Amino acid sequence: MNYIKQIIGFSLGVIITLLTIYFFKNFGKDEANTDYYILTNQISKMNKMVVLEQDFSSMQKTKITSKLLGLDVLPSSQKELVIFTKAKAQVSYDLHKMKLEVDSANKKLIIKELPNADIKIFTDAEISSLDDSFFDRFSQDDFKRITANAKKNAEKTVDQAKLRSEGRKQLLQNLNDIFVLAKALKYEVVDDTNTFDLSKL
């Protein structure tokens, strides 16, 4: 919800900025300098944005069979533990590290460099059910080991390559307001990183 509010707020800012173009031009300001100021001002307002989040969850069952009291002459026992795991994958881009060049002489907005995706995975594991016996209890070491393995398995369910790809698409949507503003000012958007398909702008 906060992300949607940020996009709406930024879009309103772009609309207000476009309206200021008329004001500046009617007061005899130099058009090239005005356009340059408007673009660079909007770029400077861009903060770090989380562009994509995904949630994953799963149930993992662990069974341990052992000899009662460690003696072969006694029957074996089985204890079972079911863990509910959750993983949240978050992709963010620090747009302060993005390099955009505004070439006012040639009316070009050039994407020189994009920040790398920062992927963070947060995991949590909770014991959903526990079945052991008086003679064969789960130990604290068992709990720590099983929980740690469950968290590692939860991390493996995250397709990071797919996450990066979807993150890039979302990044383009976030930058689209800047590109629309550039087009309105009759600037050509040039992507030196060969990341985006700008033919539809």
Give me the DSSP letters along 116-158: PPEEEEEEEEEEEEEE--SSSPPPHHHHHHHHHHHHHHHHHTS
- In the chain, the amino acid numbered 142 is D
- In the chain, the amino acid numbered 65 is T
Structure tokens, 79? 């204890």
pLDDT digits (tens, 9 = 90+) for 40-74: 888 887 767 767 888 888 888 888 776 655 555 55
- Span 114-129, average pLDDT: 88
Q: Judge whether 115 and 98 are in contact, CB under 8 Å.
A: yes
Residue for token digits 């070491």? 141
Count other Cβ atoms within 10 Å, centred on residue 157: 14
Q: Report how far apart, in Å, the C-alpha atoms of 156 and of each of 58, 126, 151, 161, 172 are.
A: 12, 18, 9, 12, 27
Local confidence band at 178 (pLDDT 50, 70, 90 cut-offs)? confident
pTM above 0.75, yes or no: no
Q: Strand (E) positions, 35-146?
A: 49-67, 76-93, 99-103, 108-113, 118-131
Count other Cβ atoms within 10 Å, centred on residue 82: 15
- In the chain, the amino acid numbered 159 is D
DSSP SS3 for 92: strand
The answer to whether residue 12 scores a pLDDT higher than 70 is no
Q: Judge whether 39 and 14 are in contact, CB under 8 Å.
A: no
Local confidence band at 15 (pLDDT 50, 70, 90 cut-offs)? low
The answer to whether residue 130 scores a pLDDT higher than 90 is no
Q: At what angle do helices 31-44 and 160-184 cross, to 10 degrees?
A: 150
